[in-house]
Amino acid sequence: MIDSHESRRRFMAHFATLGLSTTLLPGTLWAALQQSGAQKVSPAMMQEALALAGLEFSNEERDRMTDTVNRALTGYEALHKFRIPNNISPPFHFNPLVPGMKVNRTRQPFRMSDLSGVKRPADLEEVAFWSVRQLAELVRTKQVTSMELTTMYLSRLKKYNPVLNCVVTFTDELAMAQAKKADSEIAAGKYKGPLHGIPWGAKDIIAATGYKTTWGSGAYKDQMLEEDATVIELLRDAGAVLIAKLTTGELAGGANWFGGRTNNPWNPEQSSGGSSAGPGSATGAGCVGFSIGTETSGSLLGPSGTCGLSGLRPTLGRVSRYGVMALSWTQDRLGPMCRSVEDCALVMNAIARPDDRDLSVQDIPFNWNANMDVTRLRIGFLKKVFDATTDPVLKKNDQATLDQLTAIGMKPMPIDIPDFPVSVTAHDVEMAVFFDELVRSGRASLMTVQSRADGFRAARLIPAVEYLQSQRARMMMMMQLAEATKGVDVFLMPRGTGGGGGARGGGPRGGGAPNNQPQTVNASGQLNFATYPGLAVPNGFTGEGMPTSMTFFARPFGETELLAVGKAYQDASKHHLKHPTIKLPTA
């Protein structure tokens, strides 16, 4: 048997002769050969690759495998030349439900909160931070036109964008046309509902006909996708007015894009968080009525918490991803980023429906009832995560949240989600698939953040067998999670401060094992991999005036209960009513 250290040395030397990076661990031999353009695998190369994989076969078995691999390379070459459009997903679709899990499939009336006495102020800009529910009442009662609202929000967006750097493309012409149409429809008695005439912004990985969809990357900054994403169509049908394509961290990662960093309206010296950076910044600054963000792993909840918003990451299967850049077909989700929890429900009512394009979307009714009796719901909190907080301000705000829920009439009970003992591979492989052409073409060198490109390159070397085995482990993890949370309807996990980065700023707390140690999946990771719905809600402020946030979770397709608890807490705490004061640079 060949010595493993000598095998690694010889294999890495072979990598170097092909011009490949020797910093990547070779998960599969043929993946590396495809990158290099080599056409032939020798028995010696096969032997070395198998040794690195910890496998041993007879000479005869290796020879047969070598023939099989060489034949496969020809097929791979043909596949590389075959054009696969962005909107084609694999023919299997993620289901967040596990055996024994039940969901409510009975459709019920949609019930908003009662609202009366809303009056237009003398200065219309005073409504910039109002909730969609309030803005809708102004529009419905014809105290304000959509044209007026659109003009006001566009003006604010252009005024503050130099400070926030949150806009990729202004859509003035489209916005004015849509606002004019909304006013005509409302004047004719054809009011469509609470989003009719309300200006909004879309994260710039969402395609809109006639405008660039840059994905935040220098490699795609001139890209035109002449199609509308399903969410664009549904919001247009609801009468909403698209006023801007808002920034995304490059290829949905972080807050940095080819135009620089997107900034936090509470403190522009700090990042907005990402990757739904523009939606977080613009909505937090009162520059749009609401926005649509996306999440694979913290990209919506993170900037919502950082920018003091109410942001909903729905269950995978609630909202179509058609027309949206993919990172992971088994993790990506779209959701509303708003200034109040009920606003999230109003937006979800428009976009949570099947479209016969994204076949992962399930026809499960979204039954919002603003007057739901939340005291009948079972509320839990992840005691281990609460107890891990050491910062006194954060600990105080976290405890105040539990106290407020108790005062409302709920009884938060401690629960625990045990760590899962093995890591789960998901979006790293899937993003390598979506960006395979980018890497092969060499255009990844045009990316603004090269560490992002390195991730695409490295993921090509993850073996298919290990990937699929990890998905089987993922199912076991989901079953463990379902068992751990079956006693509650809604449960809480602290998030923390704005300011970008870090466990408190970028996502729910808790981490994996150190490098070179066995990897486990903590509660935050499990909830993400299992695509449980999460709701970020502001729960206080730091001494520096930055918002802190609590994340509420529910089991799959439990968004109505989740939002009802979030609304009850928000109505009592009123932290969402405070908004930032943005200073413009002096001349």
Q: Of 275, 281, 360, 573, which residue is the catalytic one? A: 275
Q: What is the DSSP letter of 419?
A: P
Annotated catalytic residue 299: yes
Instruction: Give dist(CA 30, CA 27) in Å, integer.
Output: 9
CA within 13 Å, CB half, 457? 23
354, 370, 565 from 239: Cα distances, Å: 19, 22, 28
Annotated catalytic residue 383: no
Annotated catalytic residue 203: yes
- At position 56, the amino acid (one-letter code) is E
Quote the radius of gyration of the chain (alpha carbons, Å). Answer: 25
Instruction: Give dist(CA 120, CA 127) in Å, integer.
Output: 8
Residue 129, phi-psi category: left (phi > 0), alpha (psi -120 to 50), beta (remainder): alpha
Spell out the residues 6+ positions from residue 328 whose beta carbon is closer than 8 angstroms to its own: 296, 426, 427, 430, 431
Instruction: Give dist(CA 254, CA 514) in Å, integer.
Output: 22
Spell out the residues 6+ positions from residue 417 whose beta carbon is closer than 8 angstroms to its own: 382, 481, 484, 485, 522, 523, 526, 527
Burial readout 17-48 (b: 16 or more C-beta within 10 A, e: otherwise)? eeebeeebebbbbebbbbbeebeebeeebbbb
Q: Of 89, 131, 146, 203, which residue is the catalytic one? A: 203
* Length of the chain, in residues: 587
Contact 11, 25 (CB under 8 A): no
Q: Of 89, 272, 299, 470, which residue is the catalytic one? A: 299
Retrieve residue 176's tokens: 């004015």
Catalytic residue numbers read 203, 275, 299
